[in-house]
Amino acid sequence: MRNYSRFIPGEEIAAVEQWNFGAIDTAAQLLASQTKAREEAQDASQAEQQRLKSYQDGYAAGMAQGRALAQTELHLQMQDFLANQAQQNATQLTALFAATQAGVADAAQVMAQGVLALSCELARQVLRQELSVNPNVVLPVLREALDLLGAEHRSAVVRMSPTDFAVLQPLVQSEFSGMALTLRADASILPGGCLLESAGTVVDASLQNRWQRAIASLGLSSAWEEPSDNS
């Protein structure tokens, strides 16, 4: 290797050009610009990655929140449905119970009416039997009718059935000897009853009238009927 330890003579230098530092500066600037561009590109890439990650995180959080809201809404709807269903079931059960109670009450009312009607028919049969064997049952009726007239009525016309008139005339005249009673047989008066007339006052103690008053107190309406000849 040759050692150049001497100065270069001027005659050996063909041309001299002054060194320009601008070329170095331009290269440095270019390098710096490229470095900056790479850094900016890296920063932009990192920013894009961060934005994408934030978007993904936000999307995942939104989906999770949406699922939570949907589950909450579904839970509330299920609660409302169950509450409404329970209310409907309770209403239906209440209506069914009320209808059952009403049916029981109606059946009890029908049964009670049947029992009353049967009791009245039995009473009618017993009364007919009593009248057929004991004509004296009209005497308590006559006493009650005279009490209704009052003490100021000392005279009265007493109408009785022909059957009772034939049997009871002596007994009535004997028991009520202190009153001016006129006994008359009247075919329209059934046995067991009587009709009193005194000074414009009439006391209807006929069997038909007493029977209707008695059953009316029980809430019934049934006329007294004499048995037919075929019964």
The listed range with the strongest mean pLDDT (6-15, 47-56, 80-89, 195-204) is 195-204
pLDDT computed for residue 25 by the predictor: 61
22 φ/ψ angles, rounded to the nearest 5 degrees: -65, -35
pLDDT computed for residue 231 by the predictor: 45
Q: Quick one: average pLDDT of 38-66?
A: 81
Q: 0.75 exceeded by the pTM?
A: no
The CATH class that applies to domain 113-216 reads alpha beta
pLDDT of 145 strictly over 60: yes
Please provide the average confidence, as pLDDT, over all residues in the chain.
Answer: 77
Strand, coil or helix: what is 158? strand
pLDDT computed for residue 3 by the predictor: 53
| Among 140, 153, 146, residue whose Cα is nearest residue 200 | 153
| Count of C-beta atoms within a 10 Å radius of residue 42 | 10
What is the C-alpha to C-alpha distance for residues 103 and 99, in angstroms, rounded to an integer? 6
